[in-house]
Amino acid sequence: QKEVEQNSGPLSVPEGAIASLNCTYSDRGSQSFFWYRQYSGKSPELIMSIYSNGDKEDGRFTAQLNKASQYVSLLIRDSQPSDSATYLCAVNTGNTDKLIFGTGTRLQVFP
């Protein structure tokens, strides 16, 4: 079982729709959860961080964390073509700052 799992996609959504990206993780001791966006040929950049169960909203983005079920998700409302990128889920291991990334989900937003 991989430590952090994501569906590779591509996930295709029309402009203006809600894109839902999911991630599961194996370490029950994980405490820090991140979503990064990576455009082709560029380095990853942080979208959201979340540390507690529940929802965290920032603009069009909402991160959701459920530690009991060991999943974290990212919702993108009013999706735009500029949101087309690969979204990487990252989770720390145990009580350390070692950060493991999933393989990423490619999102395509079409006009």
Partner 1 sequence: GAGVSQSPSNKVTEKGKDVELRCDPISGHTALYWYRQRLGQGLEFLIYFQGNSAPDKSGLPSDRFSAERTGESVSTLTIQRTQQEDSAVYLCASSRGLSYGELFFGEGSRLTVL
Q: Could you give the C-alpha distances from 75 to 27, 45, 57, in angstroms and in order?
A: 23, 17, 9
Query: Interacting stretch for partner 1, rule CB under 8 A, among 11-19, 57-65, 69-77, 96-104?
Result: 96-104
75 vs 100, beta carbon nearer partner 1: 100
What Rg do the C-alpha atoms of the chain give, in angstroms?
13
**Listed residue (38, 27, 48) closest to 98, CA to CA:** 27
Residues facing residue 37 across a β-bridge: 45, 87
Is 45 an interacting residue with respect to partner 1 (CB under 8 A)?
A: yes
Q: How far is the CB of 23 from partner 1 (least distance, A)?
A: 12
Query: Interacting stretch for partner 1, rule CB under 8 A, among 15-23, 58-66, 70-78, 99-107?
Result: 99-107
Distance (Å, whole) CA 103 – CA 111: 26
26 vs 49, beta carbon nearer partner 1: 49
Q: Which chain residues interact with partner 1 by CB under 8 A?
A: 31-32, 34, 43-46, 49, 51, 88, 90, 92, 96-104
